[in-house]
Amino acid sequence: MSAGIGTLVEAVVTATPDQQKQIEAILNGRQKKRKLITTKAACALLEKCHPITLRRYEKRGLLHAVRFSQRRVRWDEDEVLALANNGITIESGAAA
């Protein structure tokens, strides 16, 4: 057994049941690949959304950005579509 496989076996043994299922799915090739889209494409899916709005959504935890560099940012298409379909709830913190 090589060192790499031994380390993997060790990791599987110490992993939680959920993590073991994820590892098994990856090894069996059943892991779904995320489709990453550009900021422009994400804004188009959200219907005329400004790129700054996407960053605000990320700050609030509504979306997660995948950053390759400071300028090269991608968004998970499934996450953006879920936000577009379900919308967001706005909590008013100010007194009326």
For the residues 51-76, what does the mean pLDDT come to? 92
Is the domain of 22 the same as that of 43?
Answer: no
Question: If pLDDT is split at 50, 70 and 90, which confidence band does 75 have?
Answer: very high
Q: Determine, yes or no, domain membership for 94.
A: no
Task: Based on the fold, state whether residues 45 and 78 are members of the same structural domain.
Answer: yes
pLDDT at 96: 42
DSSP for residue 48: S
Report yes or no on 61 lying in a domain.
yes
Q: Give yes or no: residues 41 and 80 share one domain.
A: yes
pTM (two decimals): 0.59
- Between 22-26, 36-40, 74-78, 81-85, the lowest mean confidence (pLDDT) is in 22-26
Structural domains counted in the chain: 2
Helix, strand or coil, per DSSP, at residue 31:
coil
Decide: 79 and 64 in contact? Cβ < 8 Å: yes
- For residue 22, give its domain range: 1-31
For position 1, what pLDDT does the model report?
Answer: 47
**Do residue 18 and residue 3 come from a single domain?**
yes
